[in-house]
Structure 1
Amino acid sequence: MKLELRGITKRFGSLVANDHIDLVVEPGEIHSLLGENGAGKSTLMNVLYGLYKADEGVILLDGHVQNFRGPGDAMRAGVGMVHQHFMLIPVFTVAENVMLGHESTKIGGLLNIEAARARVREISSQFGFDVDPDAVVEDLPVGVQQRVEIIKALSRDAKVLVFDEPTAVLTPQETDELMEIMRQLRDSGASIVFITHKLREVRAVADRITVIRLGKVVGEAEPTATNAELASMMVGRAVELTVHKGPPQPNESSLVVEGLTVIDPRGQVTVNDVSFEVRGGEILAIAGVQGNGQTELTEALVGLQPQVRGSVRLNGEELVGRSIRHILDAGVGFVPEDRKEDGLVGAFTIAENLMLDRANGAPFVKAGNVQRKSLESFAKEKFTEFDVRAPGIDTPVASLSGGNQQKVVLARELSRDLSLLVAAQPTRGVDVGSIEFIHKRIVATRDAGVPVVVVSTELDEVTALADRIMVMYRGRIVGIVPGDTPRDVLGLMMAGVTSETEGAAA
C-alpha cells in the first residue's frame, strides 16, 4: 500500500510541530524518518494514526484521501503502529492482547480465544517470531513483547507499519533481530515508516531517509550517506561525532560502593548487593536496558532513595544516611535523568536555576537575601561558557530547548568544586550538536581528576565515554569490563548473560 502525506501541518497553540510536511512511502520500502527528539517525527505519525487531526494537509493510501477520526479508522484502513512504549496489558496473554479491541465471539457471545491463538500462531510461523499465544505478557522478555506488538498490527491486516523509536528498550542483539523482522515485512510488500534518531540503525536498515528538523523536511538522503552528513542535516551544521579522550590518569580520589541494596516503596529490591569502585580521573559508565536498577542506583548515590542498605564512601566519608544537603556540600554533582522533573524549576530564570544547589549561603545568598550582582555576574559567565542559546539569563528555562536546558543543568553542577560527578542519561532528548558539547564537558571533568559515573541506555554513548563499563541486569552487576569491550559482548551482558570477565579491571 502506498502512503502519501501532503502538506501536513499540526499546531499546538503558537508551536508549529509539523510545517507543511510531504512524505511518500512506497510498498515494499523501509522509509526512515530521521530527526532529533522534538523535531516533529512522532507528531507526524500520530496524525497518520488518527491520534491527532492535522490542521492542514491530507493523507492518501493508494491514492485515496483518508479522514481518520481515531486510531480505529487508521487500523481499519490498514495502518498499524508499534509504539516506543508498548501498549500491552501485562497480565493478559499474548492472544488476549492481540484480540483486544477487535474481539470475535462464538455462538452464545463467548470470546473466541481459539481464533486469536490461531492468528498468533499463523503470523508467528510466517515471520519466524516463535511467540507462544498463551504466554502472559509480563513474563516475556522486552524483545518478545515488541514482537507481540507487531503481531497485533499484522493481525489487523496492516499494510503500512509505523515503528516509533522501536529500539529504545532493546539490547543490541534484539535490535538486530528487529531489523531483520522489518526487512521480512518489507519483502512481504508492507510499507514501513521507521522513526529514529540513531544514525547507526537508520543506515543499517533504511531504503530511503527523510530528515526533519524543527518540524520541517530539510532533505532526503540515501543510506550510503555518512553519519557526519546525516548529523549535519539533523542539526544544520557540521558536528564532531567522535569523543576525543586520552587514557585515564587515576588518582587517589575514589568512590567506593559496597553491598548497596535499594528497596522501593512497594518493598521490591531494585538494586541488589551492588559493589564497585570509581577512581578519580576515570569514567565508569553503567550500561543496561532501562529499568534494571540504574535509576535507583544513581539516586541512592546522591541520597534520593529512602530505603538503602550498604555503604557509599567518597574519599573515605560515608554518605549513606546523610542528608542530600550534606551530600551536595561534600562535592557531589548530579545530572538527573529527568531534567524537567528533577533538575530544573521551569518557571525560574536561567540565573535562578544556576544557584539552586547553593541557595543556602554565600556567594549568592546573604542574611536570607539573594545577592543579585553576584548571581548576575556568575550567570552571565556560565551562560557564555556553556553556550546556552537564549535571549538572556532572565529567560525562564521552560522556554528553552532540551539541549539548552541540559546545558543549564551541567553549568550548575560543573561550576562547583566536585569530588564526584553522577550523570544519568546526560544526553537524553538532546540534539547532536549539544551531545558533542556535553561529552566534551564530561571528559574534561574526568581529566580534572574527578571520579565520574555515567548512566546511559545509549550503547554508543557508553562506549564513547567509558574507561570501564559496568553492566546491570535486574538490579545486579553482570560484569565490569574495559571500555573497548565489543558491542556484541555488551549486548549479551545487557540480556543477563554473565561475562567471563566479570570483575576485570574492577
Structure 2
Amino acid sequence: MSIVEMRHIYKYFGNFCANEDINFSVEEGEIHALLGENGAGKSTLMNILYGLYMHDKGTILINGEEVNMGSPSVAISKGIGMVHQHFMLIPQLTVTENIFLGMKEAGFVLHRKELQRRVEELNTKFGFNVKSDALIWQIPVGVQQKVEILKVLMRRARILILDEPSAVLTPDEVVELFDSVKALSREGYSIILITHKMSEVLNYADRVTVMRQGRVVDTVRVAETDENALARMMVGRNVDLERQITGGEFGAPLLEVSNLTVKNNKGFETVKGVSFSVREGEILGIAGVDGNGQLELGEAIVGLRRIEHGEIKLNGNVVTRSTIRHRLDEGLAHIPDDRLKKGLVLQFPIKENLIMGMQRSDKYSNGIFMKQAAIEEHAKQLVEEFDVRPADVEYLAGGLSGGNQQKVILAREVDRQPNVMLAIQPTRGLDIGATEFVRRKLVEERNKKKAVLLISTDLDEIISLSDRILVMYNGTFMGEVKYDTPLETFSLLMAGCPVKEIPESGKVV
C-alpha cells in the first residue's frame, strides 16, 4: 500500500519549471531512495512534501487522503518528519532537551526523568544507543544524526525524509545508522532517502526513483538494477568513478610540511605538530571526519590561517610567513572547501572569475585598464575545455549550478599551471557527472607530474584518487595507509585509534 502519493506535481520558479509532471509514491515500511544530479528537482519535490514549498499543480495523498500541504506544521500533523543534512541541534543542551525542544509535552517545568524515560524507550526499540542525558557537544556526529531522527520520531512521524544522512559519518557510523533505519522500516516506518552515494542506494534501499532536469526518469526496484544503470539514468551516459590511477614514479617533494601547529578561530590547537610531504606525480589524500583539523591545515598551507609553529616549503623554498600572492607565484593552486564564499565572486561574470589572481598580469591588464578582448578570448577557451554550461562568458557565476561553479574554479586553478594543487572537498555537493569530471582533472594534474594534496571527508573519493593516504583525527595523523586498506581499518583510524594499535585484520577483537 502506498502511504505517500504525489501525482502530476508541477512547481515553477518564475518561468523555470523545477518539477514537471512528477509522479512519486512511497509504500509502508519501504526505504525509497531519491537520486539525481544537482538541480534535478529532488530537494524541491521533498520541500513540497514537507510543506516548505507550495506546488503549482498536482495532488498529494497521505494514507489515501488528499492533503493541502501548506506548511511544515501540516506535514508534521500528517506524520511526516524531515531530517536535514545540516544538524539543527543546540550544543549546550542535552539529548533529551533537544528532542523535546518546542514540544508541548515538555511543559512549563521540565520533568526530566519522564522525558528521559521516553527517549530511552525509543532508544531501546530501535537500537540507537544514544545517552539521553549527554550534552550534544560531547557526542560524536554519528550519534547527533540519530538524535535528529529521534526528534522526528518523538513527534510521531511515520514518514521520514533523510537528506544526505551520512555526509559527515565514518564508515562504521554509516553502518550503525542504516542498521537503525532498517529497524525503522521493519516496524512499518517509511523512509525517503536523498543521497548521492550509490553504495547506500544499492545496499539499503528497496526502490529508487531517478530524476533528471525536473522530471522522473524511472522508478525501479534496487534488486533489479546496478550502479551503471542508475548512473546512466542520472546523467544520460556512462559514468566511471572507479580508481583511475596506476602506480608511477614519484619525483622530488614539491610540498613539505614540518611540525606544523595551527589554531582555530576559538584559539584552540586544531593542527598539532603534523609533518608530511607531497612528491611530483603523486596524490596524497588526507582522510578523516569533518572537524578534525583538515580545514585549518589546508588554510594554513594556502596562507589563509596563521601558523603558530612549524615550516612550509614549496619547491624547496620556505613560505611559512609568505603572502598568498607569493605562494601562488611559487606554483601553488587552491580549490577551496566553499566555492560560494571562497572560490568565486558570485556577482561577477564567468570571464572575470576565470582571471582572479592573474588580473594584474600583462596578459590581462596594461596597468590602468583591463584588456577585455584578451580576457574574453581566454575565458571562451577555458569554458569550452572545461565544459562550463551555459557557455556564455558574460553569465554571472552566481547563476551557475554547483557543478559548473566548481568547473570555473578548477579551470582557473589548472590554468595557473601550478606545481602543487591543493584541493579541499573538491566534489562536495556535486552530482555524479560533475564529480567524475573534477576527479578526472585531478588525475590529469597528477599525471603531468604535479603534486596534488587532496583533503576530503568522502572516503570513496580518497580511496579512488590517492597514491598514499594519511588519516587525521583530533589534529594529528593516526597513520599512513594504502587505498586497498580494509574499511574497518579506516573506521578505527578515523575514530582515533593509531595504526600501530590496529590488528592486521583491521578489526577490533
TM-score range, shorter chain: over 0.9
Residue number in structure 1 paired with 2:154? 155
Residues 1:316 and 1:154: Cα distance change in structure 2 (over 3 Å): same
Contact 2:35–2:234, Cα closer than 8 Å, also in 1: yes
Q: Report the Cα distance in structure 1 between the residues aligned to 2:341 and 2:470, rounded to whole angstroms.
A: 26
Residue number in structure 2 paired with 1:485? 485
Residue number in structure 2 paired with 1:306? 306
Task: Tell which deviates more after alignment, 227-236 or 303-312.
Answer: 303-312
Partner deviation per Cα, 1:188-239 (whole Å, 9 max, x = no partner): 1111111111101101011100011222211112213221111111112222
Aligned partner of residue 345 in structure 1, secondary structure: coil
Residue number in structure 2 paired with 1:187? 186
Q: Report the Cα distance in structure 2 between the residues aligned to 1:139 and 1:127, rounded to whole angstroms.
A: 22
Contact 1:33–1:195, Cα closer than 8 Å, also in 2: yes
Residue number in structure 1 paired with 2:59? 58
Task: Tell which deviates more after alignment, 372-381 or 293-302.
Answer: 372-381
Contact 1:104–1:112, Cα closer than 8 Å, also in 2: no
Contact 1:263–1:269, Cα closer than 8 Å, also in 2: yes
Contact 1:243–1:440, Cα closer than 8 Å, also in 2: no
Residue number in structure 2 paired with 1:234? 234
Deviation at 1:105, TM superposition (A): 5.7
Q: Which runs of structure 2 are paired with 1:166-181 in the superposition (5 Å)?
A: 166-181=165-180
Residue number in structure 2 paired with 1:81? 82
1:246 aligns with 2:225: no
Residue number in structure 1 paired with 2:123? 124
1:32 aligns with 2:44: no
Partner deviation per Cα, 1:97-133 (whole Å, 9 max, x = no partner): 1211213267xx5233232111111111111222221
Contact 1:35–1:234, Cα closer than 8 Å, also in 2: yes
Partner deviation per Cα, 1:273-304 (whole Å, 9 max, x = no partner): 22111111100011112222211111111101
Contact 1:50–1:71, Cα closer than 8 Å, also in 2: yes
Contact 2:347–2:397, Cα closer than 8 Å, also in 1: yes
Aligned partner of residue 499 in structure 2, secondary structure: coil
Residue number in structure 2 paired with 1:395? 395
Deviation at 1:372, TM superposition (A): 2.9
Q: What is the one-letter code of the residue matched to 2:212?
A: R
Partner deviation per Cα, 1:403-437 (whole Å, 9 max, x = no partner): 22212111111112312100111122323222222
CA RMSD of aligned residues (A): 1.9
Contact 1:103–1:111, Cα closer than 8 Å, also in 2: no
Task: Tell which deviates more after alignment, 173-182 or 307-316.
Answer: 307-316
Task: Tell which deviates more after alignment, 201-210 or 361-370.
Answer: 361-370
Q: Report the Cα distance in structure 1 between the residues aligned to 2:347 and 2:81, rounded to whole angstroms.
A: 39
Partner deviation per Cα, 1:16-73 (whole Å, 9 max, x = no partner): 3322322111111111111123322222222222222223223211111222343232
Q: Report the Cα distance in structure 1 between the residues aligned to 2:99 and 2:491, rounded to whole angstroms.
A: 29
Partner deviation per Cα, 1:345-385 (whole Å, 9 max, x = no partner): 22322222221121122221122322233323322322222
Partner deviation per Cα, 1:239-259 (whole Å, 9 max, x = no partner): 223242221321124211112
Task: Tell which deviates more after alignment, 361-370 or 444-453.
Answer: 361-370
Contact 1:37–1:197, Cα closer than 8 Å, also in 2: no
Query: Which ranges of structure 1 fall in alignment gaps of 5 or more residues?
Result: none
Q: Report the Cα distance in structure 1 between the residues aligned to 2:459 and 2:407, rounded to whole angstroms.
A: 22
Residue number in structure 1 paired with 2:471? 471
1:217 aligns with 2:216: yes
Contact 2:100–2:106, Cα closer than 8 Å, also in 1: no
Q: Report the Cα distance in structure 2 between the residues aligned to 1:313 and 1:257, rounded to whole angstroms.
A: 7
Q: Report the Cα distance in structure 2 between the residues aligned to 1:499 and 1:10, rounded to whole angstroms.
A: 51
Residue number in structure 2 paired with 1:284? 284
Q: Report the Cα distance in structure 2 between the residues aligned to 1:65 and 1:112, rounded to whole angstroms.
A: 38
Q: Report the Cα distance in structure 1 between the residues aligned to 2:395 and 2:103, rounded to whole angstroms.
A: 49
Q: Report the Cα distance in structure 1 between the residues aligned to 2:346 and 2:95, rounded to whole angstroms.
A: 41
TM-score, scaled to structure 1:
0.94
Contact 1:103–1:112, Cα closer than 8 Å, also in 2: no
Contact 2:196–2:432, Cα closer than 8 Å, also in 1: no
Task: Tell which deviates more after alignment, 417-426 or 96-105.
Answer: 96-105
Q: What is the one-letter code of the residue matched to 2:120?
A: R
Contact 2:31–2:192, Cα closer than 8 Å, also in 1: yes
Q: Report the Cα distance in structure 2 between the residues aligned to 1:451 and 1:52, rounded to whole angstroms.
A: 46
Q: Report the Cα distance in structure 2 between the residues aligned to 1:144 and 1:400, rounded to whole angstroms.
A: 35
Q: Report the Cα distance in structure 1 between the residues aligned to 2:4 and 2:501, rounded to whole angstroms.
A: 49
Task: Tell which deviates more after alignment, 391-400 or 349-358.
Answer: 391-400
Contact 2:7–2:24, Cα closer than 8 Å, also in 1: yes
**Percent of aligned positions that are identical:** 47
Residue number in structure 2 paired with 1:140? 139
Contact 1:228–1:241, Cα closer than 8 Å, also in 2: no
Q: What is the one-letter code of the residue matched to 1:38?
A: G
Residues 1:324 and 1:191: Cα distance change in structure 2 (over 3 Å): same
Deviation at 1:475, TM superposition (A): 2.0
Contact 1:479–1:501, Cα closer than 8 Å, also in 2: no
Q: What is the one-letter code of the residue matched to 2:16?
A: L
Residues 1:105 and 1:172: Cα distance change in structure 2 (over 3 Å): closer
Q: What is the one-letter code of the residue matched to 2:266?
A: R
Task: Tell which deviates more after alignment, 166-175 or 54-63.
Answer: 54-63
Q: What is the one-letter code of the residue matched to 1:76?
A: S
Residues 1:395 and 1:69: Cα distance change in structure 2 (over 3 Å): closer
1:341 aligns with 2:341: yes
Contact 1:480–1:501, Cα closer than 8 Å, also in 2: no
Deviation at 1:501, TM superposition (A): 8.3
Q: Report the Cα distance in structure 2 between the residues aligned to 1:45 and 1:349, rounded to whole angstroms.
A: 32
Partner deviation per Cα, 1:64-102 (whole Å, 9 max, x = no partner): 122234323222221122221122221111111121121
Task: Tell which deviates more after alignment, 133-142 or 214-223.
Answer: 214-223
TM-score, scaled to structure 2:
0.94
Residues 1:256 and 1:32: Cα distance change in structure 2 (over 3 Å): same
1:452 aligns with 2:452: yes
Q: What is the one-letter code of the residue matched to 1:322?
A: S
Q: What is the one-letter code of the residue matched to 1:426?
A: P
Residue number in structure 2 paired with 1:91? 92
Q: Report the Cα distance in structure 2 between the residues aligned to 1:397 and 1:243, rounded to whole angstroms.
A: 31
Q: What is the one-letter code of the residue matched to 1:3?
A: V
Q: Report the Cα distance in structure 1 between the residues aligned to 2:87 and 2:150, rounded to whole angstroms.
A: 13
Deviation at 1:271, TM superposition (A): 1.7
Aligned partner of residue 104 in structure 1, secondary structure: helix
Q: What is the one-letter code of the residue matched to 2:411?
A: A
Aligned partner of residue 248 in structure 1, secondary structure: coil
Task: Tell which deviates more after alignment, 59-68 or 201-210.
Answer: 59-68
Residue number in structure 1 paired with 2:319? 319
Q: Report the Cα distance in structure 2 between the residues aligned to 1:61 and 1:417, rounded to whole angstroms.
A: 56
Query: Which ranges of structure 2 fall in alignment gaps of 5 or more residues?
Result: 503-509
Q: Report the Cα distance in structure 1 between the residues aligned to 2:112 and 2:66, rounded to whole angstroms.
A: 35
